A and B are shown apart, each in its own frame.
Chain A
Amino acid sequence: DAGITQSPRYKITETGRQVTLMCHQTWSHSYMFWYRQDLGHGLRLIYYSAAADITDKGEVPDGYVVSRSKTENFPLTLESATRSQTSVYFCATRVGGLTEAFFGQGTRLTVV
């Protein structure tokens, strides 16, 4: 199926553990984004990538690491998970240089 696939959909991890959230697109959209969604904050940009091997920070990058070795994949890693990183994470792609047009289904991450 065409689109954005995020995995896992749900994840519970312990404080201090490393966890990686995966994002895969079936298109070849250049721009990919990672957002976190928290009640009362809307969506906040963590990291984005303009192309393979090009990444940059967003509004809330601390504690996160990204990589993009292939155009279709954009994994997000929490190096040492903290409870404040409990959130719903969304991956998105931008089309036509205008705005994020496609979002994944999200990953609900709970850090205990």
Chain B
Amino acid sequence: QQQVKQSPQSLIVQKGGISIINCAYENTAFDYFPWYQQFPGKGPALLIAIRPDVSEKKEGRFTISFNKSAKQFSLHIMDSQPGDSATYFCAARGGIQGAQKLVFGQGTRLTINP
């Protein structure tokens, strides 16, 4: 119930295309859903996040779509660029106030071909 399942494990997209990464969760008590981007040899970096009372959030070329009834959320990268090649992690936050913890998906390695 605490798992977050992420797919696909790897993804190859042509430059200019749309990259889509999906995540699904079971625990309806999760209350915050961030996405992280990680380049080789670096720590993860917070990319974008959404609350479950919002169906979509957009920041530049990055959009989170959230489907509360289906318990799914996805990251869309529009006009994908080679510089977007990285590993992406979804996560979900749960727990009591002051003790909230993140549960991460397994990660998606995205490659944008020039």
Contacts and interface: CB of A to CB of B under 8 A. Distances in A.
B93 interface: yes
Q: Chain B binding site: helix, strand, loop or mixed by DSSP?
A: strand
A78 interface: no
B43 A103 contact: yes
Given A56-B99, A99-B34, A99-B49, A42 B104 contact: yes
Contact of A99 (B41, B43, B46): B46
Interface residues of B, number: 23
Contacts, number: 53
Contacts of B101: 45, 48, 58-59
Nearest to B104: A42
A71 to B, nearest CB: 16
B69 to A, nearest CB: 23
* Size bin of chain A's contact surface: 20 to 34
Nearest to A44: B104
B28 to A, nearest CB: 19
B99 A42 contact: no
Interface string B70-111: 000000000000000000010101000011011111110000
A106 B40 CA distance: 11
Interface of B: 2, 6, 32, 34, 41-46, 49, 89, 91, 93, 98-99, 101-107
Interface of A: 4, 40-45, 48, 50, 56, 58-59, 90, 92, 98-106
